[in-house]
Structure 1
Amino acid sequence: MAMIEISSSPTSTTLVIDGDLDLAERDRFPEIAARVVGLRRQLLVIDMCGVTFMDSTGAAFLITLADSSRSRGGATVLRGADARDLFVLEVCGALDLFRVEDTCSHTKQESGFQRPAGTGSTPSA
């Protein structure tokens, strides 16, 4: 089960995700989305540094959050998504909904996971 933590400041909401963001988590997505949207902050930061796997269901969840933020005039930052996650969003045609930050100060590096160079590029088969 993924751990999803929501925190907020006067101007932003941060969603920190650890674990798999996939079909198994989908029943939790509407409640989490409602909480994030209810905070009504201009900036949404989605910290993906701890995400171990994301499928199209997880991507749809992130797209829903970014759409909601954009419809209110806000912005969504995707922090620490790896090449695989960015590829899923790109295939969905939704990568332009996010400002991508390639910064992780914890988790993947500490666990020995090395992020591939050129995170924005399409992974080779």
Structure 2
Amino acid sequence: MNIIEDPCMVVSCDVMNGWTVLHVDGEVDIHTSPMIRKAVAELLDEGHRHFVLDLCAVPLLDSMGLGMIVAVTKRLQDHQGSLRFVCADDRLLRVFRVCGWHEVYRFYDAPEEATRRAPSGCGLESWPRRLARS
């Protein structure tokens, strides 16, 4: 089901093995990042705690997109939640490596891999300590 439809981006949502998977199709930037943040907040209010952000169809992730990920992470951590990423694009993965996020988050090539095991506990225990060391 689509939870965000915008001329620049579409976000659909599936629940797989206890994970809420957000499939993002389009640019994650100053215009679209607040929409994703709001959608995650609404899903949290509905009881979702463990998220997978599928970025396979994202051609651009700017600094506002990175800021949105930090804000979402803080919110999920407050709810003892988890956040994983699906991303096979070397350019985006390089951005995550430069940020030091490979030490904090888990990255997968496909949603099926990210959701293979059901979530257990908070998956963000090491955030932001490891992030701060980078």
Separation of aligned partners in 1, 2:72 and 2:55: 14
Corresponding position of 1:18: 25
C-alpha spacing 1:87/1:7, structure 2 compared with 1 (3 Å): same
Paired residue type of 2:65: G
Separation of aligned partners in 1, 2:111 and 2:21: 14
Q: Identity of paired residues, percent?
A: 23
8 Å Cα contact 1:10/1:41 also seen in 2: no
Corresponding position of 1:57: 64
Q: 1:35 deviation in Å?
A: 1.8
CA RMSD of superposed structures (Å):
2.6
C-alpha spacing 1:79/1:30, structure 2 compared with 1 (3 Å): closer
Q: Which runs of 5+ in 2 are unaligned?
A: 1-7, 113-134
Corresponding position of 1:77: 84
Q: Alignment length, in residue pairs?
A: 105
C-alpha spacing 1:86/1:67, structure 2 compared with 1 (3 Å): farther
Q: Equivalent of 2:94, from 70, 87, 104?
A: 87
Spell out structure 1 runs of 4+ moving beyond 4 A: none
Separation of aligned partners in 2, 1:100 and 1:26: 20
TM (norm. structure 2) is: 0.62
Separation of aligned partners in 1, 2:83 and 2:37: 18
Separation of aligned partners in 2, 1:40 and 1:33: 11
Whether 1:3 aligns to 2:16 is no
C-alpha spacing 1:76/1:3, structure 2 compared with 1 (3 Å): same
Separation of aligned partners in 1, 2:104 and 2:45: 20
Paired residue type of 1:64: A
Separation of aligned partners in 1, 2:103 and 2:75: 14
Separation of aligned partners in 2, 1:37 and 1:96: 25
